[in-house]
Structure 1
């Protein structure tokens, strides 16, 4: 097993319509406004940018995100990631009775040297750190959508 390889799946239930949620998630440069752990997003061009994130643990992760798929009809946003995280992430949105279900899937290899060094003993902390980041993201997006 590669202890620096991670797969994550998160599901958010949101009360906003699918198109509204999709529009918010498609604007990655706005994430720092509503997602506290997304510290910085710098656009490189129309389909890529550099992102810096930091959750509870005292380290930043920086990666370049490149748009792979943007399909509003299917409700899919997907990126390829290179940098401290190498892999991909995908939002898949589906309508629900009360609004929208947002499924987030991510598969990455961590390349940051300290995280690789601490891969085995730190794995539970790294997974918990990710869970805290995702929980805060859901809360932030829900509040952002109420204000829109």
Structure 2
């Protein structure tokens, strides 16, 4: 017999026990560049808008914290405060806590790959933006696709930057 889909609970924002305001994103980029060079670009968060077109603005508020504004295809800006929790150049690891429209964490890990670098990005967040929470059910596939496009664009921009091409 086929599975019966449950309707989302309006009070909890869930579908069959799944929190529709919780997202886990994982991306892997293989880049034709030295791992240390890639790590150096990723640790320079204020420089992201130079190569990643969806990162519209970064305002450093302290040595360990900054405000970021980003937008991909959907006509909606997300604003987060990112606070550096761990920066380990020897391990090529960056970890940040996020607050604002998204609450959670993200991790960048850079390692060696055949002929270049492998970048692993992990992000686990809860959406706090009222608009996104109201659109949790119909918008979820769009939000995930939007994030995938943003990551694809980020990879392309980073490749261009590392190749010495003109940034975005």
State the partner residue of 2:67: 50
- Kindly state the Cα deviation for residue 73 of structure 1 after the two structures are TM-superposed: 1.0
Does the alignment pair 1:138 with 2:158? Answer: no
Does the alignment pair 1:59 with 2:76? Answer: yes
> Runs of 4 or more off by more than 2 Å in structure 1?
none
Aligned mate of 1:3, from 20, 34, 48: 20
Give, in whole Å, the separation in 1 of the partners of 2:25 and 2:67.
21
Q: Which runs of 5+ in 2 are unaligned?
A: 1-17
Give, in whole Å, the separation in 1 of the partners of 2:106 and 2:46.
16
State the partner residue of 2:57: 40
Give, in whole Å, the separation in 2 of the partners of 1:99 and 1:7.
26
Map of 1:1-148 to 2, 5 A cutoff?
A: 1-147=18-164
- For the residue of structure 2 that corresponds to 1:147, the secondary structure is coil
Task: Return the structure number with greater helix share.
Answer: 1
Give, in whole Å, the separation in 2 of the partners of 1:96 and 1:111.
36
Quick one: higher RCO (CA 8 Å, sep 6+), 1 or 2?
A: 1
- Kindly state the Cα deviation for residue 71 of structure 1 after the two structures are TM-superposed: 0.4
Q: Which runs of 5+ in 1 are unaligned?
A: none
TM-score norm. by structure 1 comes to: 0.98
State the number of aligned residues: 148
Give, in whole Å, the separation in 1 of the partners of 2:114 and 2:128.
40
- For the residue of structure 1 that corresponds to 2:27, the secondary structure is strand
**CA-atom RMSD, angstroms?**
0.8
Give, in whole Å, the separation in 1 of the partners of 2:125 and 2:115.
32
